[in-house]
């Protein structure tokens, strides 16, 4: 039985989400500081990409403008602090709360495009966004009742979500002019350098971690970073970006299942309620946004 390219893309997206869902649990299993975990994740990812970049994209790297290097660097710095804040949040709150809050990323991204690119939103989309925000408040209130430390983790996760939005906004125009591999190489490289400097300033040790930590560093570079995100970037050629954004919303489910079996974490009632509200709000928001974009594209096609 032959499968269409779109069906293959859906399979790739499903595999990618599984890989990405492992990230939070793996971070929980390490003993290294959050910024050190993020540093080695990106160093190893960049090093693994280096041979391909040298062999196939060396010329393109040399021709990149100073402006694109600047915005690519800002995207890399934003990505670095996203990982620092997100990984740090896992020291204070549960995998479920942290990952659910980080999946507000599509909402932050759409708000950012409205503020910086004047992309308007309808009331149904706004209502969906408010619903998602209400869900995050429910989770935060539940964690506050459990402990103030858990609430701190929630705030770090939300800030990490905002940083990844900055990464997307800085990189949006650059990606239109660069191939995926060179762009990703620049962003990962700058992020790795940012984290190296950050860890030097804080005097965190670069060595002395157990062998299990080093295995997890490599795992994070290969599976959630290169394979997970690369499969999503491959799929975007055949399916809508919004389909991919919606699929990432299922990351909390995979992460929570893994956390239950590997870490023994359970979900309290407010996490169930808040997570359900967030996913409902994001579904309404993204579905409305997708329908509106389709109508805009049809109008442009008719006028053209």
Q: Where are the chain's structural domains? A: 8-303
The Cβ-side half-sphere exposure at 255, using a 13 Å CA radius, reads 29
pLDDT in the model for residue 55: 94
Query: What is the pTM assigned to this prediction?
Result: 0.76
Q: Which two tokens stand for residue 273?
A: 């309620």
Q: 10 Å Cβ neighbour count for 207?
A: 6
List, for residues 24-34, the tens digit of each pLDDT value: 889 889 999 98
Average confidence score pLDDT of the chain:
79
Tell me if residue 269 falls in helix, strand or coil: helix
Query: In the chain, at which residue ranges do the beta strands (DSSP E only) sit?
Result: none
CA distance 292 to 113: 15
Structure tokens at 34: 């959050």
| pLDDT value at 85 more than 70 | yes
Contacts of range 239-247, beta carbons closer than 8 Å, 24 or more positions apart: 239/6, 239/9, 239/10, 239/13, 240/290, 242/286, 242/289, 242/290, 242/293, 243/13, 244/13, 245/106, 245/109, 245/286, 246/106, 246/282, 246/283, 246/286, 247/13, 247/14, 247/16, 247/17
Phi first, then psi: what are they for 64, rounded to 5°? -70, 135
Q: How far is CA 177 from the centre of its chain?
A: 22
pLDDT of residue 37 exceeding 90, the answer is yes
State pLDDT tens for residues 52-66: 999 999 999 989 999
Tens-place pLDDT, residues 174-217: 877 888 899 889 989 999 999 999 999 999 999 999 999 999 99
């Amino acid at each position: 039985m032959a499968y269409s390219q779109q069906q293959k893309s859906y399979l790739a997206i499903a595999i990618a989400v599984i890989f990405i869902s492992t990230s939070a649990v793996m971070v929980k299993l390490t003993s290294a500081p959050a910024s050190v975990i993020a540093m080695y994740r990106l160093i190893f990812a960049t090093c693994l990409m280096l041979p391909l970049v040298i062999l196939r994209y060396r010329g393109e790297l040399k021709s990149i403008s100073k402006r694109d290097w600047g915005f690519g660097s800002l995207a890399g710095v934003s990505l670095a602090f996203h990982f620092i804040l997100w990984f740090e949040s896992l020291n204070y709150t549960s995998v479920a709360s942290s990952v659910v809050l980080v999946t507000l990323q599509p909402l932050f991204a759409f708000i950012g495009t409205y503020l910086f690119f004047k992309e308007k939103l309808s009331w149904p989309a706004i209502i969906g966004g408010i619903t998602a925000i209400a869900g995050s408040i429910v989770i935060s209130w539940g964690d506050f009742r459990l402990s103030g430390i858990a609430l701190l983790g929630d705030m770090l996760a939300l800030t990490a979500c905002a940083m990844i939005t900055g990464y997307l906004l800085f990189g949006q125009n650059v990606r239109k002019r660069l191939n995926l591999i060179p762009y990703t190489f620049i962003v990962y490289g700058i992020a790795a350098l940012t984290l190296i400097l950050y860890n030097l300033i804080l005097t965190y040790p670069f060595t002395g971690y157990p062998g299990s930590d080093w295995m997890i560093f490599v795992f994070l570079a290969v599976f959630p970073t290169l394979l997970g995100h690369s499969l999503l970037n491959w799929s975007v050629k055949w399916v809508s970006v919004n389909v991919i954004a919606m699929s990432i919303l299922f990351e909390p489910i995979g992460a929570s299942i893994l956390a239950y079996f590997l870490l023994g974490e359970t979900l309290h009632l407010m996490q169930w309620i808040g997570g359900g509200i967030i996913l409902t709000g994001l579904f309404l928001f993204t579905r409305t946004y997708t329908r509106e974009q389709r109508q805009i594209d049809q109008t442009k096609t008719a006028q053209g």
